[in-house]
Amino acid sequence: MGKRTLDFQNKTFWLLCWAILLNGVGVYAQNKLTYYQDVKPIIDEYCTGCHRTGQSAPFPLTSYEDVRKRASFISMVVETRYMPPWHADTSFGSFLHARVLSAQQITTIMDWAANGALRGEPTNTTETKALEEWPQPDMVLKLQKPFQIPGDNTEQYRIFALPTGSDKDLYLRGVGFMPDNKPYVHHSRLMLDTTHLVRPFDGTSVGESMEVLDSMNIPLYNAFWQGWVPGNYPLFYPEGVGKMLPKNTDIVINMHYAPSAKPEQDQSEVHLYFAKNKPRRLVETFVLDESWIVNGPFEIPPDTVITFYLRSPVVPMSLSLVSVLPHMHLLGTKFRCFAITTDGDMIPLINIPEWDFNWQQSYQFANLVKLPAGSVIYAEATFDNTRNNPRNPYFPPKTVKYGWGTKDEMMELIFEFLMYEPGDEYLDFYGLEAKREASKSGGQDRK
């Protein structure tokens, strides 16, 4: 017998194709996609965290009507991956709570929208995901007085100092930021100040105050302690792991408020969760800032697109990386970071192919990433200071340099880490595998 190849002239072949196609359509017609059966589970998992009353997104997606009347718009934002917001490349590192729809989920939403956005019947397994199940914090720190957001349609960048007033070191199993005026609290960044020198700047604008603070050379104990953007939940470390908050520390909040047309008020909170026992392992932070750039000075001339390269010092001992937070301002367009080991192996850390100033967040690695002693971390960040960058704060463009103001630039990377212990890279650090197993067997048990 000769080779069996597909013969496109062959009638049987075409008949077969038709049969498959018709059969496919038949099956499809019988299984029309509905909101309750097919779409709601996806929306609940990926959208309603923000798209619900009182949260940051402009409208809720919690009822059939909410979703139906925007069906084609929703199709479009999921197809283009504009929503849900998630900017890290998931083929370059694996992250906790990655908000990425599968191709299948996108197709489901699009097909549902294109075929009449049918309702279907509710079942008890499709209840709206429980609202924030945040446990009770052990200590709540509020802005010392409510901040008055002026109703003049301007963005506000403000500094607040929240004294913990604790006379002993605090050991934490978790930290959460709880926005008060959710539609207007755009993002926040927490820092630690053991000097109390930031206190007099409480409520002042970030640009001015940080310039003064920079010039005073205030040693912020942790220049970036934790970042928050809408949709971020408090993060809890497993038993035996925690963060230390030195005694008498002030938590400094660098807050961005969205513009408002009428006066608003905000008194956001930081929630601290104490560890039962002093953690055996402490999560610490290191920052790679502009001083490690190898092709400086860090200056972005007008009408140019420029990439800066950063090279860290040699990592002296093996570390287990917990999270990475890349930071730039409005001119940033791309950020990529990896490490090279002494064997020449590349360890992917983070790749953000389309930087979005609005969605800066700390990316938690799904598993601890081992950074062997002797490794070097490299980062490259691209800045677009041309007129083609719609976010460019200056028109015409002008030279932009380092600074805390949003119209200045930064190129920083903040890592959280633990001292490496053998086997760390194989740990089910957040108990994700365990949870997956439990839900599998839970599913089987259900009648």
Shortest CB 101 distance to ligand HEC, Å: 6
Using the contact rule CB under 6 A, the part of the chain among 74-82, 202-210, 283-291, 362-370 near ligand HEC is: 74-82
| Bridging pattern class, strands 235-236 and 376-384 | unpaired
Pick 46 or 338: Cβ nearer ligand HEC: 46
Q: Is 390 in the site for ligand HEC (CB under 6 A)?
A: no
Q: Is 77 in the site for ligand HEC (CB under 6 A)?
A: yes
Q: Is 268 in the site for ligand HEC (CB under 6 A)?
A: no
The H-or-E segment that residue 264 falls in is strand 264-266
343 three-state secondary structure:
coil
Shortest CB 247 distance to ligand HEC, Å: 35
| Bridging pattern class, strands 363-371 and 346-352 | unpaired
Structure tokens at 191: 């820092």
35, 46, 112, 225: residue in contact with ligand HEC (rule CB under 6 A)? 46
Q: Is 191 in the site for ligand HEC (CB under 6 A)?
A: no
Buried b (16+ CB within 10 A) or exposed e, 6-40: eeeeeeeeeeeeeeeeeeeeeeeeeeebbbbbbbb
Pick 52 or 370: Cβ nearer ligand HEC: 52
* Burial of 329 from C-beta contacts in 10 A (0-12 / 13-18 / 19+): buried
Tell me the three-class secondary structure of 67-100, residue by residue.
HHCCHHHHHHHHHCCCCCCCCCCCCCCCECCCCC
CB 271 within 8 Å of CB 234: yes
137, 230, 242, 279: residue in contact with ligand HEC (rule CB under 6 A)? 230
CB 381 within 8 Å of CB 294: no
Q: Is 60 in the site for ligand HEC (CB under 6 A)?
A: no
Q: Is 179 in the site for ligand HEC (CB under 6 A)?
A: no
Shortest CB 354 distance to ligand HEC, Å: 13
Pick 59 or 426: Cβ nearer ligand HEC: 59
Q: Is 83 in the site for ligand HEC (CB under 6 A)?
A: yes
74, 198, 272, 381: residue in contact with ligand HEC (rule CB under 6 A)? 74
Q: Is 49 in the site for ligand HEC (CB under 6 A)?
A: yes
Q: What angle is formed at CA 100 by the lines to CA 94 and CA 104, rounded to 5 degrees?
A: 120
Q: Is 69 in the site for ligand HEC (CB under 6 A)?
A: no
Scanning the structure block, which residue is given the tokens 């050991």?
Answer: 171
Q: Count residues near ligand HEC (CB under 6 A).
A: 19
Shortest CB 274 distance to ligand HEC, Å: 28
Q: Is 328 in the site for ligand HEC (CB under 6 A)?
A: no
Q: Is 396 in the site for ligand HEC (CB under 6 A)?
A: no
Q: Is 129 in the site for ligand HEC (CB under 6 A)?
A: no
Tell me the three-class secondary structure of 276-319, residue by residue.
CCCCCEECEEEEECHHHECCCCCEECCCCEEEEEEECCCCCCCE
Q: Is 398 in the site for ligand HEC (CB under 6 A)?
A: no
| Cβ atoms < 10 Å from Cβ of 409 | 23
The residues that touch ligand HEC, with contacts defined as CB under 6 A, are 46-47, 49-51, 56-58, 70, 73-74, 77-78, 83-85, 99, 230-231
